[in-house]
Amino acid sequence: MILFGSSVSPFVRKVLMFAAEKGITLESRSMSPHSDDPQFVAASPFGKIPALQDGDYTLSDSTAIVSYLEAKYPATPLLPLEAKARGKAIWFEEYADTVMFPVATVIFVNRVLLPMRKVPGDAAKANELVAQQIPLLFSYLESVMPAQGFLVGDSISIGDISITCMLINLAYSDTQIDASKYPKLAAYYERLSARPSVSGLIAAERKWLGV
């Protein structure tokens, strides 16, 4: 199975971490959005990353891809089987993808990605989001965070993976979690980002991004 997309995208990293937690081997093929690579174009009709190719089957969108992988490899479930737990895990995935991402991506692009490409970023816009939006995002997470373990149940789920992958992009963007204000969130991020399923990616991405 080939996964197209650069892992500095939190959506691509989500799929790579998900696969690693399940022990699934994916061939990770680094790809920018809107690449004209014919295999990628066939897998991603709107040019977004990630996209998957599994033989003659193709799929775009991280949520669709992890759902496919979960159904194909049901061992070590990362989408909880119990109804209430499943609902909460998907909520945290959606919170990461639709509430955190619009904020995190503007900060990441302006503080890290554009400067890496020698294009000036809008530092004022990033600073404004860090000052005004990040406290709202982190306060909510702190309010739902357990002192130990995971967001839902006794084991890691798609909710943890999605939230962690979004926090990683914020960490690259000099948006650290202040442990004096958000102690449970800070400890959670330390635990989750140290997992072997993602720690190697973080080291490689930091090197590539120069952060």
Which residues of this protein are in contact with ligand GSH, per CB under 6 A? 9, 11, 33, 47-50, 61-63, 97
Instruction: Give whichever of 15 and 20 is closer to ligand GSH, judged by the CB atom.
Output: 15
- Residues 175, 107 contacting (CB under 8 angstroms): yes
Q: How far is the CB of 178 from ligand GSH (least distance, A)?
A: 26
- In the complex with ligand GSH, the residue whose CB is nearer, 39 or 191, is 39
- Give min distance, CB of 104 to ligand GSH, in A: 10
Q: Which is nearer to ligand GSH, 105 or 183 (CB)?
A: 105
Q: Which is nearer to ligand GSH, 6 or 182 (CB)?
A: 6
CB atoms within 10 A of CB 29: 17
- Minimal distance, residue 120 CB to ligand GSH, in Å: 21
Residue 65 CA to residue 148 CA, distance in Å, equals 29
Q: Give the separation between CA 65 and CA 80, rounded to whole angstroms.
A: 16
Residue 87: CB atoms within 10 Å: 11
Q: Which is nearer to ligand GSH, 36 or 154 (CB)?
A: 36
The token pair that represents 14 in the structure block: 């989500």
Closest distance of CB 32 from ligand GSH, Å: 8
Q: Give buried/exposed letters for 101-123 (b at 16+ CB in 10 A, else e).
A: bebbbbbbbbbbbbbeeeeebee
- In the complex, the smallest distance separating the C-beta of residue 118 from ligand GSH, rounded to whole angstroms, is 20
